[in-house]
Amino acid sequence: MIRKDTPIIDDNACLLVIDVQLDFCPGGALAVEQGDQVVPPINGLLTLFNNIVLTQDWHPAGHYSFTSSHDGSQPFSSIQMPYGAQTLWPDHCIQNSSGAEFHPDLNTSAAQALIRQGYRREIDSYSAFFENDGETKTGLQGWLATKQISSVYLAGLATDYCVAYSALDAARLGFDVNVLLPACRGIDLDGSLSLQLDKMSQAGVTLLEKLPE
């Protein structure tokens, strides 16, 4: 569903700020076009929510999602992993590297929790809830349950990967899910952006075209 009006944020809502890291911004290793432009709207959103969680893509060197870990493979191609298809990416968001840092203008101090993703070498994690095997939990679901959160609002990078996978898992888990589109930017690999927007709509995710103020 596409909604043009703005929702009301309450204590049972949580803002999930997905992967606003330098490697996903212009000049970074896996730059998303206009990725840095999500920072001002997200900083504005941070003032509206009482519950805020950040996610951070956090790979060890030699992570299996990197093209460089598979001899003779092409960046952005797909390979078969034990858990299914995996896109190969340029080396990005390596633990403790400058590219893994949050954008310096992002107001991270407002967040209560930080979920790191993709820290095991053998498995990637696009979703903030489950690793790419679809079953290993990150702990976010439990955190939100403990806080009695029923609605999640997602913003960040990339719309068609970590944002979409997180939104789809949240919907499957029974949350009311809202994606704040003006505060997201996508990679759009082989039509992935429209595909994931459609998937989210079909899963009952609300795609907000206007930010709450």
Binding site for Zn ion (CB under 5 A): 57, 118
Q: What binding mask, one character per residue, do residues 89-118 give for ligand VGL by CB under 6 A, x or -?
A: x-----------------------------
Site stretch for ligand VGL (CB under 6 A), options 9-17, 106-114, 156-164, 169-177: 156-164
Contact 27/49 with Cβ under 8 angstroms?
no
Q: How many helices (H) and strands (E) does the chain have?
A: 4, 9
Which of ligand VGL, Zn ion, none is residue 25 near (CB under 5 to 8 Å by kind)? none
b (16+ CB within 10 A) / e for 18-43: bbbbbbbbeebbbbbeebbbbbeebb
Residue with smaller CB distance to ligand VGL, 19 or 36: 19
Closest CA to 101 of 159, 65, 56: 56
Instruction: Name which position in 49, 153, 161, 175 contacts ligand VGL (CB under 6 A).
Output: 161
Residues that bind ligand VGL (CB under 6 A): 19, 57, 89, 126, 157-158, 161-162
